[in-house]
């Protein structure tokens, strides 16, 4: 079964399109996990326990695991999420050529999907695209303010660069495993990309701490596919969910801290479902 079939089944099962970003910044971990052998894994396990009923996907960002203990924590996290029936999308933004690309693609042995950077062209993505059972989300129109510096540049054809990336993604989608990353902070561009690729699912960041447009994220981020039982796509929140406990009245109490993450995931699910 392909990634988007798996994702559609998960979305249908939990009635949610929420992607929970697992970005365990060591400087923000609560004291209740800092003495663990692998604090990031201890933190993630509790977040997964608190949020899995509302999670369509988990999205760990590779930047928070780039050391030996971090990779161990990531492997444990991915295996634990799998045990809960939740797919894992590694936000790694990989993109290189030749043997380097092939080695990078080996991470797909441990996760269900990955984000990639398309700016080196198709050959830099081919080892990922060849994994027909895995999801490959190419950066298209990102949620950060600086994304416009390059992504909005007008080509000789008159189209902005991000539109060309969307069109190329459609060409690259021979294995029906390609998605696009399109931020909720640019709702007009989100709508434009959806018009270009009506059946490609989006990963939509920026709804949580970045304050993106939740209604647009759902209306344009989800792809209606005749072969799938539900509209498919993901709306991500990272800090707004996993660190919600910092705002609780008893942040030092473990149950209260991680319960706040569960409540935040539930609230976001309800908020998004109003527009589905």
Active site members: 93
Pairing type for strands 57-60 and 89-94 reads unpaired
Provide φ and ψ at 116, rounded to 5°.
-135, 155
Nearest Cα neighbor of 159 from 180, 181, 140 is: 140
Rounded CA gap, 206 and 56, in Å? 17
Gyration radius (Cα) of the chain, Å: 18
Contact 101, 122 (CB under 8 A): no
Collapse the DSSP code of 185 into the 3-class scheme (helix H, G, I; strand E, B; otherwise coil) and give the result: coil
Q: What is the DSSP string of 54-90?
A: G-SEEEEBGGGG-SHHHHHHHHHHHHHHHHTT--BEE
Q: What are phi and psi of 64, to 5 degrees?
A: -90, 10
Could you give the CA distance from residue 242 to residue 55 in angstroms, rounded to a whole number?
12
Query: End-to-end CA distance of the chain, in Å?
Result: 25
What is residue 138's three-state secondary structure?
Answer: strand
Sheet containing 18-22: order of strands: 57-60, 18-22, 234-237, 202-204, 178-182, 135-141, 113-116, 89-94
């Amino acid at each position: 079964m392909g990634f988007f079939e798996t994702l559609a089944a998960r979305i249908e099962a939990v009635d949610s399109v929420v992607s929970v970003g697992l970005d365990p910044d060591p400087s923000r971990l609560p004291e209740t996990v800092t003495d663990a052998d692998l604090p990031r894994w201890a933190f993630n396990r509790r977040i997964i326990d608190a949020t899995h009923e509302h999670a369509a996907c988990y999205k760990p960002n590779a930047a928070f695991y780039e050391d030996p203990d971090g990779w161990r924590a990531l492997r444990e996290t991915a295996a634990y999420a799998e045990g809960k029936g939740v797919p894992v999308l590694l936000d790694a933004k990989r993109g290189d050529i030749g043997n380097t690309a092939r080695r990078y693609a080996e991470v797909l042995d441990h996760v269900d999907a990955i984000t990639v950077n398309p700016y080196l062209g198709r050959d830099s993505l081919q080892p990922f695209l060849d994994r027909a059972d895995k999801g490959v989300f190419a950066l298209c129109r990102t949620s950060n303010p600086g994304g416009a510096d390059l992504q909005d540049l007008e080509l000789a054809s008159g189209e902005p660069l991000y539109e060309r990336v969307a069109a190329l993604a459609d060409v690259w989608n021979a294995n029906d495993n390609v998605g696009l990353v399109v931020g909720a902070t640019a709702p007009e561009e989100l709508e434009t990309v959806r018009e270009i690729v009506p059946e490609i699912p989006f990963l939509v960041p920026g709804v949580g701490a970045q304050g993106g447009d939740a209604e647009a994220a759902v209306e344009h981020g989800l792809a209606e596919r005749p072969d799938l039982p539900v509209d498919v796509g993901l709306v991500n929140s990272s800090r707004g969910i996993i660190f919600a406990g910092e705002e609780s009245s008893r942040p030092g109490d473990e149950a209260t801290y991680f319960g706040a993450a569960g409540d935040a995931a539930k609230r976001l699910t309800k908020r998004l479902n109003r527009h589905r």
